[in-house]
Amino acid sequence: MVTQRTFSIIKPDATRRNLTGKINAKFEENGLRIVAQKRIRMTKEQAEQFYAVHKERPFYGDLVKFMTSGPVVVQVLEGEDAVAANRKIMGATNPANADAGTIRKEFAESIEANSVHGSDSPENAKMEISLFFKDSEIVG
């Protein structure tokens, strides 16, 4: 087990329903520390770059539209095995398949409006963090 950082986004469906605090409580109750956080409005260019890996998928255009439809909260979470730990706290991409007690099971509206993003590997976590935060903004 190593202390690790992961990148998280509280998505527009969740900020719209004022769920930032409830979602942050899930992270904190499950051993992750929020070491950086800011509320931003993603630009189309940022969303396209962030989800570039899904460019060929049929839902790419809708996803970019959704991610720019309202404010998001971008975050750096720190803890033991943070990348995998956060994926567990989030639950499956499709809330219908998510385990009880996970963020997506409790809060997600649909497979697209699924309330949170979390990095899927330590390498992607580093890259995603660097897209939104300077080192000096992360206070561990």
What is the set of active-site residues?
117
CA dist 91 and 101 (Å) reads 9
CA distance 55 to 58: 8
Among 26-34, 40-48, 109-117, 128-136, the segment contacting ligand GDP (CB under 6 A): 109-117
- In whole angstroms, the minimum distance from the beta carbon of 97 to ligand GDP comes to 10
Residue from 35, 63, 84, 138 binding ligand GDP (CB under 6 A): 63
Q: Does 62 bind ligand GDP (CB under 6 A)?
A: yes
109 in contact with ligand GDP (CB under 6 A): no
Q: Does 26 bind ligand GDP (CB under 6 A)?
A: no
Asked if 99 touches ligand GDP (CB under 6 A), the answer is: no
114 is a contact residue toward ligand GDP (CB under 6 A): yes
According to CB under 6 A, which one of 34, 35, 84, 111 is a site residue for ligand GDP? 111
